[in-house]
A and B are shown apart, each in its own frame.
Chain A
Amino acid sequence: MLPEQEKRISDADLTEKTKEQLLKYLNGRDIPAEQFDTILNRVREEYQKTRIEACEAVGIIAAQSIGEPGTQMTMRTFHYAGVAEINVTLGLPRLIEIMDARKEPSTPTMTIYLQPEYSGDRDKAREVSWQIEAAPLHEFGDITIDMENMQIVVHLNTAVCDKRKIAVSTIVETAPRKIRDRRHYRDFDYENNDQDATIVFMPKNRESYQNLFQLAEHVRNVIVQGIDDIERVVVRKESGEYILYTEGSNLKDVFDVDGVDTTRTRTNNISEISQVLGIEAARNAIIHEALATLNEQGIAVDVRHIMLVADMMCMEGEVKQIGRHGIAGEKESVLSRAAFEVTVNHLLDAAVANEVDELSGVTENVIVGQPIQLGTGDVKLIAKPMN
């Protein structure tokens, strides 16, 4: 292929992907100018044919294209992602969750990628996982309730602390602070001793056994290492590198952990992505999650439909749900909103607010019995008088 022909392809009014494919197929071939023109024109013609036409109701098509295969989805599927024993909601409940733009998915999980110096080594990957997995105090030593002196004595096991790469002094310092801040329990005093690796907790009310046991419960379960929201971490090797899968999600805090690859790590919590990485990342996440959920069920839906849904959800700068509290509830037309859900409320509010319906959409015109503005209905004829 001549360089001049290559330039003509890259300048053509085609999509990048088409251009790449065309260049790939024609590469290394000797094409006469005449034939090249035919090829390029035919490709251009075909591309124009694939484009959606003006006044095509893409929303309805998307709704049907996702809805029909959706009826074949299993109602309630729980699936163990690969060999790792992490439970994630899939199937229809997950799809509904994505479209509803829930603040938190029912099973939040993260896929944490590691930086090159950590990803090749199992032990180093395990070290990172300890920084992430929430570990309660009782995993680091013995907790005894001293009923005679009305106190709780914690003996930290230094061997465990060393193995988990956490200083005894850090645990001694964090444990009481976390009980106060995170668990909101303040009725206690404490004495700590770094040398013996012990902490002694005393309830303020020294008469009540109930208080003592309540405090013991807090002491046992206070998170002293890791990120509070992440309950479990599983290390797995996939295509030559170690990856961490988690139960629970906290993107912001995980990004602060040493060794985490902040360019690839992801979560299935879309609202968290929109807060930490922005609305465009949230759009990508919606497409990815919805497509993955559908494909896992063996349902092939064209990406274009999902892209349209994701685009609509992310139009206003934040993730909006599809439904009464999101896209459908914010339509301009009163009749269109009333046709969707809570009809009477919308009509009443519109009457009180003296709202006007322009009758520009499809639903409104179906209700009043006019031709809809789609396809041939969009064309208006204006006839000039002959003379």
Chain B
Amino acid sequence: MSTGLNVLDHVMVPDHKIMSEEEVGSLFSTYNISNEQLPKIYHDDPAVKAISAKVGDVIRIIRHSHTAGRAESYRLVIKRPKK
């Protein structure tokens, strides 16, 4: 990727942050879910590469929502399956 491009600066890309283990733990207990139930994101996704997250990390995404103003979402980093 070129030096001038930082995907996180683009208006269409919301904030991506890696969550700490405690944060992930409290997320799972509040919603009573396991990491398999989260939406996924591939390890070679440009935004994942930009924040250098690893497979198995949970990413907090802070979106500009049309309805709520600010909405949090979570994605689990997984390996891209081979076709």
In-complex Cβ contact of A317 among B40, B61, B68 (8 A): B40
Binding site secondary structure of chain A: helix
Q: Does B2 contact A (CB under 8 A)?
A: yes
Q: Tell which of A66-74, A271-279, A338-346 binds the partner.
A: A271-279
Task: Tell yes or no: A255 within 8 A of B by CB.
Answer: yes
Residue of B6, B45, B48, B63 contacting most chain A CB atoms (<10 Å): B45
B82 / chain A contacts, CB cutoff of 8 Å: none
Contacting residues of chain B (47-72) with chain A, CB-CB under 8 angstroms: 47-48, 61, 63, 65-70
In the complex with contacts A17-B69, A255-B4, A262-B5, A277-B46 CB distance below 8 A: yes
Of B16, B40, B41, B67, which is within 8 A of A15 by CB?
A: B67
Which of A16, A263, A317 is in CB contact (< 8 Å) with B10?
A263
Name the residue on A nearest B61 (C-beta). A280
Chain B's nearest CB lies how many Å from the CB of A131?
14
Contact A262 B9 (CB under 8 A): yes
Interchain nearest-CB distance for B8 vs A (Å): 9
Q: Chain A contact residues (Cβ within 8 angstroms of B): what range?
A: 20 to 34
**A206 CB to closest chain B CB, in angstroms?**
43
By DSSP majority rule, is chain B's interface helix, strand, loop, or mixed?
loop
* In the complex, A222 has a CB within 8 A of chain B: no
Please name all residues of chain A whose beta carbon is closer than 8 Å to the beta carbon of B25 when the two chains form the complex: none
**Across the interface, which residues of B come within 8 angstroms of A288, CB to CB?**
12
Q: How far is the CB of A226 from chain B (nearest CB, A)?
A: 17
Contact B13 A278 (CB under 8 A): yes
A92 interface contact, C-beta 8 A = no
> Cβ of B41: which chain A residues have Cβ within 8 Å of it?
278-280, 317
Q: Are B14 and A280 in contact (CB under 8 A)?
A: yes
Contact B67 A304 (CB under 8 A): yes
User: Any chain B CB within 8 A of the CB of A158?
Assistant: no
Given A262-B4, A317-B42, CB of A277 within 8 Å of CB of B67: no
Q: Is the CB of B12 within 8 A of A273?
A: yes
Name, among B10, B13, B63, the residue most crowded by chain A CB atoms within 10 Å (CB to CB): B10
Least Cβ distance of A333 to chain B in Å?
17
Report A272-309 CB contacts with B as 1/0, cut-off 8 Å.
01011111110011011000000000000001100100
- Chain A, 13-30, CB within 8 A of any chain B CB: 15-20
How far is B69's CA from A237's CA once the two chains are assembled, in angstroms?
30
Q: How far is the CB of B72 from chain A (nearest CB, A)?
A: 11
* Residue in chain B with minimal CB distance to A306: B66
For B10, what are the chain A residues with a Cβ–Cβ distance below 8 Å? 262-264, 277, 281
Q: Which of A314-334 contact B (CB under 8 A)?
A: 314-318
Contacts of A273 in B (CB 8 A): 12
User: In the docked arrangement, what's the CA distance between A19 and B68, Å?
Assistant: 10
Q: Is the CB–CB distance between A315 and B67 below 8 Å?
A: no
New A-B contacts (12) at CB < 8 Å, excluding given A15-B70, A284-B12? A17-B67, A17-B68, A262-B6, A278-B45, A279-B41, A281-B7, A281-B12, A281-B13, A303-B67, A304-B67, A316-B40, A317-B78
Residues of A in contact with B (beta carbons under 8 Å apart) = 15-20, 255-256, 262-264, 266, 273, 275-281, 284-285, 287-288, 303-304, 307, 311, 314-318
